[in-house]
C-alpha cells in the first residue's frame, strides 16, 4: 500500500478546508493512512507535518512500522503538540470525535477554534486502488467458497447456529483473520428478519434458507447473500424471489461510471413498489465496502450520496430484499467493482 501517496492526497484536500490541522481518530481511517491496526490512537495532519499519538501498547510497534513521528499519549501530549503548532483552527470529524473530547479541546485551546468537518478520508476511500481491489477480490472469493461449503451441509436436522460455527471454522482453516460480521443464516420464517442472527432453528423440508455472509482478508471485507429453497417452498416465496432477482438485475444494469447513486436504489425500489411490495423493502439498496463492512457510499434513493456519480474503482453491494412476517424473506446480494465500462461481480 502506498501510504505516503494517501497522505499527500489528504494534504491536498486539507489546503481547501477551513482548518490548519486535522485531527483523525477513526481507527479505520488510521489503518488506511498507516497500515496500523490500533484500537486507540490519533493522527494530526497539517499541510507540512504529520504526527501519530498512541498509548504505551502501540508505541514501539508504531515507531518501527510508520514513517511519521510518534508521540506517547498522556494527558497533555495532544494539546501540547497543538499549542506548539500555534494553530488557529482545528478540524475534527463530528462522526468520530466525542463531545467530551470536543469540550476538552475547546477548554484547553482557548485561542483555537474547533471546527467540525466531515472527514475527507471518507471520500478518498470511495475509490479503491489496485492493491485494495486485489484484496477485495480475495475476500470475495473466500466468501463464495464458504457459501458453497455451507450448501453441502444443508440437511434436515441441522441448526442455523451449527452452520454458522462450521462456516467460521472453515474460513479460519483457510487463513481468514476474522468474519466480516456474524453470519445471517435464517431458516423458514426467520428469513423475514433482515439482520437476524443464527440461532437454534432446525432445518426442515420445504424451507427457504437465507445466507448472508462475509469474511475479512488483509483487512478487507466481503459481503454476499443468497436464498436457497430446501425442498418445495410456497408460491409467494417463489414470487418474491423472482421480483427481488429482477430488481437486482435492473439496478446492476445501471452500474457504470456516471450513473447517479440514488438512481440505483430508485430503479430497484420502483420495480418492487410496482409489484405491491414497496413497504416490505425496508433498507437501502446497498453500500460501499472495503476496510469497513459498511462504508460510503450508501446506495439510497435520497441521502448524502444520492446525487453522487458512480466512478471506476468504487466497490459497492447491491442487495434488494422483500420481507414478509409469517411467510419469509428474500434478499439477494452481490459485491460489485465499478469498472471503466461497467461493473465486475466479485462474489460470483
Q: Read off the pTM.
A: 0.93
Mean pLDDT of the chain: 93
pLDDT 10s digits, 110-140: 888 999 998 999 999 999 999 999 999 999 9
DSSP calls for 239-286: HHHHHHHHHHHHHHHT-STT-BHHHHHHHHHHHHHHTT-GGG--S-SE
- Write down the CATH number for the domain with range 127-345: 3.90.230.10
% of the chain at pLDDT higher than 70: 99
187 grid coordinates: 431458516
In this prediction, residues 238-246 reach a mean pLDDT of: 99
- Per-residue model confidence (pLDDT) at position 74: 65
For residue 239, give Cα distances in angstroms to 144, 235, 242, 250. Answer: 25, 6, 5, 17
- Per-residue model confidence (pLDDT) at position 101: 86
At 76, the pLDDT band (50, 70, 90 cuts) reads: low
The residue behind cell 463492512 is: 293
Helix (H, G, I), strand (E, B) or coil at 339: coil
Same fold, 3-124 and 127-345: no
CA distance 114 to 23: 10
pLDDT 10s digits, 183-193: 999 999 999 99
pLDDT at 180 over 90: yes
Angle at which helix 3-14 crosses helix 27-34, to 10 degrees, equals 120
CA distance 120 to 51: 18
CB 33 within 8 A of CB 119: no
- Per-residue model confidence (pLDDT) at position 86: 76
- Per-residue model confidence (pLDDT) at position 64: 84
- Per-residue model confidence (pLDDT) at position 238: 98
- Per-residue model confidence (pLDDT) at position 194: 95
CB 210 within 8 A of CB 171: no
CATH class of the domain whose range is 3-124: alpha beta
At 306, the pLDDT band (50, 70, 90 cuts) reads: very high
Angle at which helix 77-85 crosses helix 99-108, to 10 degrees, equals 50
In this prediction, residues 299-320 reach a mean pLDDT of: 97
pLDDT 10s digits, 38-56: 888 889 898 888 888 888 8
Helix (H, G, I), strand (E, B) or coil at 300: coil
- Per-residue model confidence (pLDDT) at position 177: 86
Domain boundaries, the chain: 3-124, 127-345
CA distance 341 to 257: 7
pLDDT at 297 over 70: yes
Answer with the residue of higher pLDDT: 15 or 319. 319
Q: Where are the beta strands (DSSP E) in the chain?
A: 21-24, 42-45, 50-54, 70-72, 89-92, 113-116, 178-179, 184-187, 207-213, 215-217, 220-221, 224-230, 286-288, 295-299, 315-318, 321-324, 328-331, 334-338, 343-345
Q: What is the DSSP pairing of strand 184-187 with strand 207-213? A: antiparallel
For CA atoms 82, 84, 85, 88, give the dihedral sign: positive
- Per-residue model confidence (pLDDT) at position 91: 94
DSSP calls for 71-94: EE--TTHHHHHHHHHT-SEEEE-T
Q: Which of 96-100, 128-132, 310-314, 344-348 is the least confident region?
A: 96-100
210 grid coordinates: 437465507
Q: Which of 73-82, 148-157, 270-279 is the least confident region?
A: 73-82
Amino acid at each position: 500500500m502506498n501510504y505516503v501517496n494517501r497522505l499527500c492526497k489528504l494534504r491536498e484536500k486539507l489546503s481547501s478546508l477551513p482548518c490548519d490541522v486535522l485531527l483523525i481518530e477513526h481507527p479505520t481511517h488510521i489503518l488506511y493512512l498507516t497500515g496500523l491496526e490500533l484500537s486507540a490512537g490519533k493522527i494530526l495532519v497539517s499541510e507540512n507535518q504529520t504526527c501519530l499519538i498512541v498509548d504505551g501498547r502501540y508505541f514501539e510497534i508504531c515507531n518501527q512500522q510508520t514513517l511519521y513521528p510518534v508521540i506517547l499519549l498522556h494527558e497533555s501530549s495532544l494539546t501540547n503538540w497543538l499549542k506548539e503548532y500555534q494553530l488557529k483552527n482545528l478540524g475534527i470529524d463530528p462522526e468520530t470525535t466525542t463531545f467530551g473530547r470536543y469540550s476538552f479541546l475547546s477548554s484547553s485551546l482557548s485561542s483555537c477554534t474547533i471546527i467540525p468537518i466531515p472527514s475527507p478520508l471518507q471520500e478518498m476511500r470511495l475509490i479503491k486502488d489496485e492493491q485494495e481491489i486485489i484484496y477485495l477480490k480475495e475476500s470475495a472469493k473466500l466468501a463464495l467458497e464458504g457459501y458453497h461449503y455451507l450448501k453441502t451441509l444443508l440437511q434436515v436436522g441441522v441448526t442455523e447456529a451449527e452452520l454458522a460455527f462450521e462456516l467460521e471454522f472453515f474460513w479460519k482453516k483457510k487463513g481468514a483473520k476474522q468474519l466480516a460480521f456474524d453470519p445471517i443464516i435464517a431458516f423458514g420464517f426467520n428469513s423475514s428478519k433482515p439482520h437476524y442472527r443464527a440461532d437454534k432453528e432446525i432445518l426442515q423440508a420445504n424451507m427457504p434458507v437465507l445466507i448472508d455472509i462475509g469474511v475479512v482478508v488483509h483487512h478487507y471485507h466481503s459481503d454476499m447473500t443468497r436464498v436457497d429453497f430446501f425442498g418445495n417452498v410456497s408460491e409467494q416465496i417463489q414470487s418474491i424471489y423472482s421480483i427481488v432477482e429482477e430488481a437486482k438485475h435492473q439496478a446492476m444494469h445501471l452500474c457504470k461510471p456516471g450513473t447517479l447513486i440514488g438512481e440505483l436504489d430508485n430503479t430497484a425500489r420502483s420495480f418492487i413498489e410496482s409489484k405491491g411490495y414497496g413497504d416490505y423493502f425496508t433498507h437501502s439498496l446497498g453500500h460501499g465496502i472495503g476496510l469497513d463492512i459498511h462504508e460510503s457510499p450508501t446506495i439510497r434513493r435520497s441521502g448524502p450520496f444520492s446525487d453522487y456519480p458512480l466512478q471506476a474503482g468504487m466497490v459497492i453491494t447491491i442487495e434488494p430484499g422483500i420481507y414478509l412476517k409469517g411467510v419469509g424473506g428474500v434478499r439477494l446480494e452481490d459485491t460489485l467493482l465499478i469498472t471503466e465500462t461497467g461493473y465486475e461481480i466479485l462474489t460470483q
